[in-house]
Amino acid sequence: MAAGPLVEHRAPPAGPDPGGPFGRRGRAAAIAVMMLVATVLRLAGLGRESLWVDEGYTAYLARLTPLGYVDDVRHTVRNILPPLYFALMHYWTAVAGSSEVMLRLPSVVAGVLVVPLVHALMTRLFDPVTGLLGAGATTVSLFQLQYSQEARMYELLALLSVASLYLLVRLLDEGRTWQVTALAVTDALVVWTHHYGALLLVAEAGFVVVLALARDVDGRTLRRWLASRLVLGVLVLPWALFFVDQLDKVGAYPWLPPVTVGSVRGVLEHFAGSPGALGVCAALTLVGLVAHRGLPRRLLARRRLTPADRGYLLLWTAFAVPVLLAVGYSVVASPVFGRKYLIASSVAFLMLAVVGARALPGRLLPVAALVLVVAVSGPQYVHFYRDVNKDQWRESTAYLEANAAPGDLVLFNAGYTLQNGYGAYARRTDLETRPFPAGSEEFSLQPTRADLDTLAGLVAGRRHAWVVYSQSHDEGFTIAEELGALSTGGECTEFVAISVCRYDLPAG
């Protein structure tokens, strides 16, 4: 069969507002309601839980100026993150303060803004109904809720990633000059937010290459996209040398476990909300595959793709390519596969289920299918809003400071929790706090026999010694065993993900 001609996709001309629930006014009202619901869900209990270690690290890094942050990256092993989010947080906390609510509020804002942006993307790729279904699914997505309530950069990464996909589609549809710059700047912001954002950009490049090979994008538009890549390269070049150095750090000091089939399934379960929700999403995705079963044939035949074909291919690419790249790098180099780093893929994964739901007959069945995704995750929603999910540094620090005597020794294993956990809430200055073993300021270490032999000298002449266990590699509790032999008694108090142990020392 002869190849089809080169074509240029253009957005359909705007017609009159059809009115009703799917007209522009009806959709605008629906999105406004969804954004309100998204705001309420993301603000609910925002300051209820204390900061956990990574959020405490955000609080610490936000105190650094942008230049100070770059210096911290240069001289530490644990800090391997680009500076954009922390620069924004530096200026935000200077005005709003560093309470739990204020530290997490920027993520709430980003999470709410993802909703209308998903609507805009899905409407452009498919139709207004799919856009509304996508926005609704994003509004109540448990995965999005979790990272909208965390003082980290992941929800900002999700927002910028969806914006990147939207601008890519606009550029391919319309090929306007301003879109070259807008896409390049947005993609640079993606990379300056988190290195994993580069995986999405690789996926987008693969998508464009497939379209070019299928002769579904004209030469003029392709040149404009390549120009945007050139501008992107210039914008991210200042961070490139840091990125190479950080790759070496990841290889030398991996922090994630090796990837397994079970860990991949676990990530998909978190994307969906629960194991049951994953089953429903998988079934809906299968429906979508059936509805778009002619896409591979049209690609191979170089036939013109419909906008829905393009949209479906883009979603699959944005979901699968970053996941496969992360898995592949984990297998051949160093473990880097983690769910929060792939938050952009989580949006595409959910939208594939939305496309499948949209293919179901009638008006109510697509909505019912997405409601079922939420319903089967009911216990997980209850757990999220009712139970304690984050490390209790606020509570454990208050307990320790209320019960410690002046001059008491407090050891932290791992040592970095001293700065990023306890340090976020500590008020007293009359306690001697230190990491143990020495050198664990950035990574948890298994104490050696030589480390344990120093404990007797450290506790000599004190009334009490304390050990704070959190994210510890002292699996055998050898520190506790050694201090137990040196003490006359004591007790341990348990908090979520933290143990605080007091040891009473003999007089003299």
Q: Would you place residue 10 in the very low, low, confident or very high pLDDT band (cuts 50, 70, 90)?
A: very low
pLDDT > 70 fraction of the chain, expressed in percent and rounded:
95
Written as one letter, the residue type at 302 is R
What whole-number distance in Å separates Cα of residue 115 and Cα of residue 129?
14
Mean pLDDT of 426-434: 96
* Confidence at residue 326, expressed as pLDDT on a 0 to 100 scale: 96
Domain ranges of the chain: 24-386, 393-504
> Is the CB of residue 70 less than 8 Å from the CB of residue 409?
no
- Inform me whether the pLDDT recorded for 1 exceeds 70: no
24 Cβ contact partners less than 8 Å away, ≥ 6 residues apart = 17
pLDDT in tens, 306-333: 889 999 999 999 999 999 999 999 999 8
pLDDT in tens, 432-473: 999 999 888 888 888 999 999 999 999 999 999 999 999 998
Q: Would you place residue 36 in the very low, low, confident or very high pLDDT band (cuts 50, 70, 90)?
A: very high
- Among 96-110, 233-247, 355-369, 474-488, the minimum mean pLDDT is found in 233-247
Mean pLDDT of 187-203: 96
pLDDT in tens, 266-284: 999 999 999 999 999 999 9
Mean pLDDT of 290-302: 91
Mean pLDDT of 23-42: 94
- Inform me whether the pLDDT recorded for 260 exceeds 70: yes
* Tally of CB atoms within 10 A around 32: 11
- Among 28-32, 41-45, 250-254, the minimum mean pLDDT is found in 250-254
- Among 23-32, 165-174, 418-427, the minimum mean pLDDT is found in 23-32
pTM of the model: 0.93
What whole-number distance in Å separates Cα of residue 211 and Cα of residue 317?
12
Mean pLDDT of 87-101: 97
> Is the CB of residue 465 less than 8 Å from the CB of residue 459?
yes
* Confidence at residue 442, expressed as pLDDT on a 0 to 100 scale: 84
Q: Would you place residue 508 in the very low, low, confident or very high pLDDT band (cuts 50, 70, 90)?
A: low
Mean pLDDT of 173-193: 96
Mean residue pLDDT of the chain comes to 92
Order of strands, sheet of 498-504, starting from the edge strand that comes earlier in the sequence: 432-435, 409-413, 464-469, 498-504, 489-495
